[in-house]
Amino acid sequence: MKSNIFKIFIFSAAILFVAASLSAKSSPVDKIETAYAENRISLGEKIIYKVMTVHAPERLPEEFRLEPDVKLKSATEIMIEARLNLERLSGPEQEILNNYLGRPNMVFSALSPDGYFRIHYNIEGAHAVDSSDVDPFNGIPDYVDCVAHYSDSSYRCMHGNLAYLYPPSDGSEGGDSLYDIYLMEMPYYGYTQPESPGPEAWDDWISYMVVHRNFIDFPPNDDPEGLEKGAAKVTCAHEYFHATQMAYNLLSEVWYMEVSSCWMEEICYPQVNDNYNYLWCFFDYPQLPLNDSSYYHDYGAFVWNRFLDHNFDTTLIKSIWENLIYNDDVYTAINTALLGYGSNLYDAFGEFAAWNWCTSIYDDGNHYEQGWDYPETVDLIGTISFYPVSNMHPPSAMRPHGLGANYIKFAEFGDVIGEFLIHFDGQDGYHWSANVILAEPDNNYTFMEIPLNEAYAGSLIVSEIENYDYIILNPVVRSWYGEGLDYVYSAQLLPWPDYAADVRDAGPYDIYSMGPRTVNFWVYNRGSNQDIYHMTISDEMGWDCQLHDTLFTIPVKDSVMVAADILSGPDLLPGTVNNIILTATSHKDSVAFGVDSLPMYIVRFNGDSNNDGTINVSDAVWIINFTFVGGEPPRPELYQGDANCDDNINVSDAVFIINFVFVGGQPPPCLAY
């Protein structure tokens, strides 16, 4: 626990580092988008300025410049936007942009050990890598060797282990047909540059990768080999998965490209955890839609893919990308893939929202594999500690969007023994669910859901509230659409009275005509004090009903099983029903009682031909008399004489009974009990 607390402290510092990079003061991309939305710059200027944040940040207009030492994640989204909009720009704008989109000029290159990649680099100038060549001593800078090794490892992970498509070949660009990676100085971890359409009938694209030249002063991670190597590892995995995505569909929604690439970091290099730096961007804003891409929300949303691969299978993510080959809509692709696993996007997202409570200090060991290690928990919109509360609405700024959620905590139940009532009513016109998470000590959770009607309103009573430290109400918008949706919730403590009882039947429910049977009832003390309960039993048909015991002392929140012997009446046809009624009355408060009825159904007693409640030789004699000398038929109905269960009444039934009674033969094979 101490090490995890220390890690949370370290990542809290990292979060402040990343948050500073994302603040309005130092986020040039957001400021450029704002200027474009306000018509202060043209489309061409917007795209050029964004690309300049990668290649020439020092040449940006003053209002768009980065703060010193700001490090940003992936510039792939910027480069995709630039390439896809290139033809829409003016001639001079295209010329400027082409200077940035072309392949970097590097003096040296090296092959990766497995021969899948060519790594391009310089050892002098602004983009120079550290030229140290120690381990291995092979004439290639060690950092280049590392990038080559990490790229090969990512290749094996994605294609060898997971069988994703290969990025389309660039022919001889970069010197040969190998996939090209360039090492550069920039304020980003890296990016994948789409160059031109690929050979397939769908929207696949040829690409190359650019990776930072040293990763000095980048956000922290957990890699045991050091921060720089950890950042290089996950960047190779992240950007190469972008290259792999471009083998499926460059036009798929960029938010899911980032979700998937951050997830792939976890698959290829689970020990690094660089993506933990962005979890706060998702967990601090659970009300935002799953596909939101502002403030690195899509980077923190890698937990969505993590949920899918944990709860279903890693192959589900590949199925989603296969669905995207001919369909640009990510939600449709996800839903189609989930249908193949017996689920759908509505239900899966509702469960995902509940999972997200179980991280960091709230981890229970049953959800995210490394959830205990996550430095973040989801934000609450509030904690309720006084009851009742009625007709509460979420703050307008925190109302959930489509595929968004809220979390409300109910706590401070005091010494109350009893129940807790929660009511929820979601805004009309949208699909809702309302998860309820019951938290016992040591992060032991019970997950429930408020049953909602067609108007998405409903209530839930939580029993034995004294067992729980707190309760989380988790409203979830399961619709794929909608912004800032409202709902109403109420909550009320329902303390138990001083003295009360609850009776529940426990079966059995079948009995033979003239048959004995022992039945059972559970009796619960639903009062807040220990009590003595007096039992009485009755029925609706005048059968003989005898309790084993009539007085029971039951502690608070405890129960006892009460047994009674029943003897049914004669000549009762199968299907006849009699209700056995048990009443438990408090010894200390006679108006406090509980009652329940147990329905008993008459079933056929094959072989008991004379309906005396037993099978013996007299039943064989009865059948012989009926068969040969015109005696009375079996009672209470003909087929009660069918001892061998062959649907006929004849001498073989008499023989069957004699064998059963005198020589240890089998009992009638179709008896109910």
Rounded Cα–Cα distance for residues 578 and 568 (Å): 9
User: CA 181 to CA 103: how far, in whole Å?
Assistant: 10
CB atoms within 10 A of CB 138: 11
Structure tokens at 479: 């619709």
Contact criterion met (CB below 8 Å) for 616 and 580: no
Confidence tier at 17 by pLDDT (50, 70, 90): very low
DSSP string, 437-496: EEEEGGGEEEEEE----TTSEEEEEES-GGG-SEEEEEEEE-SS--SS--EEEEEEEEEP
Q: Are residues 513 and 531 in the same domain?
A: yes
Q: What type of residue sits at position 418?
A: G
Is the pLDDT higher at 27 or at 14? 27
Query: How far, in Å, CA of 8 to CA of 15, rounded?
Result: 10
| Rounded CA Rg of the chain | 36
Does residue 542 share a domain with residue 555? yes
* Residue position matching structure tokens 């403590």: 493
- The confidence score (pLDDT) of residue 23 equals 44
For the record, the structure tokens of 290 come out as 């799953």
Specify whether the CB–CB gap between 210 and 79 falls below 8 A: no
- Order the strands of the 408-410 sheet from edge to edge: 382-384, 408-410, 470-477, 432-440, 444-449
Q: Is residue 34 a part of any domain in this protein? A: no
Evaluate if residue 11 carries a pLDDT over 50.
no
Structure confidence at residue 295 (pLDDT): 86
- Final residue of a domain: which of 603, 626, 646? 603
> Which are the contacts of 306, defined by CB distance < 8 A and separation ≥ 6?
263, 266, 368
- In the predicted structure, residue 526 carries a pLDDT above the cut 70: yes
- Position 3 pLDDT exceeds 70: no
Spatial CA neighbour of 24 closest among 381, 262, 294: 294
The structure's pTM equals: 0.79
For 215-267, how does the pLDDT look when each residue is reduced to its tens digit (9 = 90+)?
Answer: 999 999 999 999 999 999 999 999 999 999 999 999 999 999 999 999 999 99
Q: Do 593 and 525 share a structural domain?
A: yes
Q: Is the pLDDT of residue 445 over 90?
A: yes
- CA–CA distance, 51 with 86 (Å, rounded to integer): 12
pLDDT, one tens digit per residue, over 279-306 is 999 999 999 999 999 889 999 999 999 9
The closest alpha carbon to 464, from 425, 438, 444, 437, belongs to 438
Whether 424 is covered by a domain: the verdict is no
- Structural domain contains residue 346: no
Supply the CATH number for residue 545's domain.
2.60.40.2310
132-153 confidence digits (pLDDT tens): 999 999 999 999 999 999 999 9
- State whether 532 and 593 are in the same domain: yes
Distance in angstroms (rounded) separating the CA atoms of residues 287 and 226: 35
Query: Is 388 part of any domain?
Result: no
Structure tokens that stand for 571 in this block: 């000549």
Record the tokens describing residue 428, joined without a space. Answer: 């009309």
DSSP calls for 387-433: S-EEEE---GGG---TT-B--EEE---TT--EEEEEEEEEPTTS-EE
pLDDT of residue 25: 41
Query: Domain boundary residue among 558, 575, 603?
Result: 603
Compute the distance between CA of residue 152 and CA of residue 229 in angstroms, rounded to an integer: 15
Domain membership flag for residue 328 = no
Looking at the domain assignment, is residue 578 inside a domain?
Answer: yes
- Domain CATH for 661: 1.10.1330.10
Contact 473, 377 (CB under 8 A): no
Answer whether residue 521 shows pLDDT above 60.
Answer: yes
Using CA atoms, how far apart are residues 80 and 87, in angstroms rounded to an integer? 13
Q: At what angle do helices 345-355 and 302-311 cross, to 10 degrees?
A: 100
Show the tokens assigned to 456. Answer: 């998405």
Cα dist from 205 to 236, 317, 350, 635, whole Å: 19, 20, 35, 84
Q: For 460-483, what is the mean pLDDT?
A: 96
Q: Which two tokens stand for residue 340?
A: 């193949």
- The residue with tokens 């072989």 is 607
Residue 596 in any domain: the answer is yes
* Same domain assignment for residues 523 and 588: yes
DSSP letter at 173?
G
- What pLDDT was estimated at residue 567? 98
Phi, psi of 302, deg, nearest 5? -60, -20
Which residue type sits at 592? Answer: A
Same domain, 532 and 554: yes
Share of the chain above pLDDT 90, in %: 94
Confidence (pLDDT) at 67: 87
Cβ atoms 120, 180 nearer than 8 A: yes
CA angle 662, 663, 666 (to 5 degrees): 105
Residue from 154, 243, 241, 152 nearest 198 by CA: 243
Sign of the C-alpha dihedral, residues 135, 138, 141, 147? negative
Residue 9's pLDDT is what? 44
One domain, residues 630 and 563? no
Q: What span, in angstroms and rounded, lies between the C-alpha atoms of 646 and 438?
A: 54
Is residue 643 located within the same domain as residue 612?
A: yes
Domain count for the chain: 2
**585 and 641 belong to one structural domain:** no
Average pLDDT, the chain: 94
Q: Are residues 529 and 575 in the same domain?
A: yes
What crossing angle do the helices spanning 254-268 and 302-311 adopt, rounded to 10°? 60
Mean pLDDT of 194-209: 97
Tokens of 325: 């080959």
Q: In the Cβ-directed half-sphere of 244, how many Cα atoms lie within 13 Å?
A: 26
**What is the distance between the alpha carbons of residues 648 and 228, in angstroms, rounded to a whole number?**
86
Q: Are 234 and 263 in contact (CB under 8 A)?
A: no
- Residue 95: pLDDT band (50, 70, 90) is very high
- Name the DSSP letter for residue 140: S
Would you state the torsion angle of the CA atoms of residues 243, 247, 252, 257, taken in this order, to the nearest 10 degrees? -30
Give 388's contacts (C-beta < 8 A, 6+ positions apart). 490, 491, 492, 493
Looking at the fold, whether 522 and 598 belong to one and the same domain comes out as yes
- The answer to whether the CB of 127 falls within 8 A of the CB of 106 is yes
Residue 572 lies in a domain: yes
Question: What is the b/e burial string over 616-639, where b = at least 16 CB atoms within 10 angstroms of the residue's CB?
Answer: eeebbbbbbebbeeeeeebbbeee
Q: Does 612 lie in the same domain as 595?
A: no
Q: Which domain holds residue 561?
A: 501-603
Residue 18 pLDDT > 80: no
Q: Across residues 487-497, what is the average pLDDT?
A: 96
Q: Render pLDDT for 357-407 as a digit per residue (tens, 0 to 9).
A: 999 999 999 999 999 999 999 999 999 999 999 999 999 999 999 999 999
Would you state the pLDDT for residue 2? 35
3-12, 45-54, 112-121, 156-165: range with lowest mean pLDDT: 3-12
pLDDT tens by residue, 262-271: 999 999 999 9
* Predicted local distance difference test score (pLDDT) of residue 27: 76
492 exposed, middle or buried (CB, 10 Å; 0-12, 13-18, 19+)? middle
What's the pLDDT tens digit per position in 611-655? 999 999 999 999 999 999 999 999 999 999 999 999 999 999 999
Q: Which of these three, 603, 635, 656, is where a domain ends?
A: 603
- Residue 350's pLDDT is 97
pLDDT for 503 equals: 98
Cβ–Cβ < 8 Å for 30, 47: no
Q: Average pLDDT of 532-561?
A: 97
- Angstrom distance (rounded) from CA 505 to CA 196: 72
- Which residues contact residue 656 at a Cβ distance below 8 angstroms, ignoring those fewer than 6 apart? 607, 643, 644, 665, 668
- Count of CA atoms in the C-beta half-sphere (13 A) of 180: 26
Higher pLDDT, 4 or 637: 637
